[in-house]
Amino acid sequence: MIGITILVVALVLVVAVGFFLKSRNGAVRARPATAPGTSTDRLALLRGAGVESVGGGPVVLHFSADWCGPCAAVRRVVGQVVTTMASAPRPPLEVELDIDHEAALAREMSVLSLPTTFILDGDLTERFRVSGVPSAGDLEAALVPLSGPSEPKSGNPG
């Protein structure tokens, strides 16, 4: 009887963890506000990999590999969103990096699975992270505030 109880408890825990992980797959998660800014090591690795913000706009950085099946779906979704937002005041830039060629940067950014996508602001600070394939709507919603005017307009007439 004890063995069956242990088996049932273990099964329930495994199912609960599976549902938790599935719920996070593809979700755009904001970086905690209390997290420190971008380190100089990370900036050096980003710039060494060719990641630069153009005109202060956001960068959609996604890690992929030749052997990663879902990475093609991320490529399509990110390409669609970047094309849709091309007329924004500060349009987003797409950068795809092969995890095998940029292993040091992947370690620095704590990439544990593929595909993993980051939304970086104009200073190359991580603002959002997505594990799995994001939806176009969620990705665009995260990019819109970062793609707006660079200086907020004052409502004070003067």
Per residue in 5-58, pLDDT tens?
A: 888 888 888 888 777 766 666 677 777 654 555 678 899 999 999 999 888 899
Query: Which pairs with CB-CB distance under 8 Å and at least 24 residues apart come from 124-127?
Result: 124/38, 124/42, 124/43, 124/46, 124/51, 124/52, 124/53, 124/59, 125/37, 125/38, 126/31, 126/38, 127/30, 127/31, 127/58
Confidence of residue 155 (pLDDT cuts 50, 70, 90): very low
pLDDT tens digits, residue range 104-114?
999 999 999 99
Return the amino acid letter for 142.
Answer: A
Average pLDDT, stretch 148-153? 59
pLDDT of residue 8: 86
Residues 80-104: tens digit of each pLDDT? 999 999 999 999 999 999 999 999 9
Is the peptide bond between 115 and the residue preceding it cis, with omega within 30 degrees of 0? yes
Asked whether the predicted pLDDT for residue 156 surpasses 50, the reply is no
Mean pLDDT score, 120-125: 92
pLDDT at 91: 95
3-state secondary structure (DSSP) of residue 134: coil
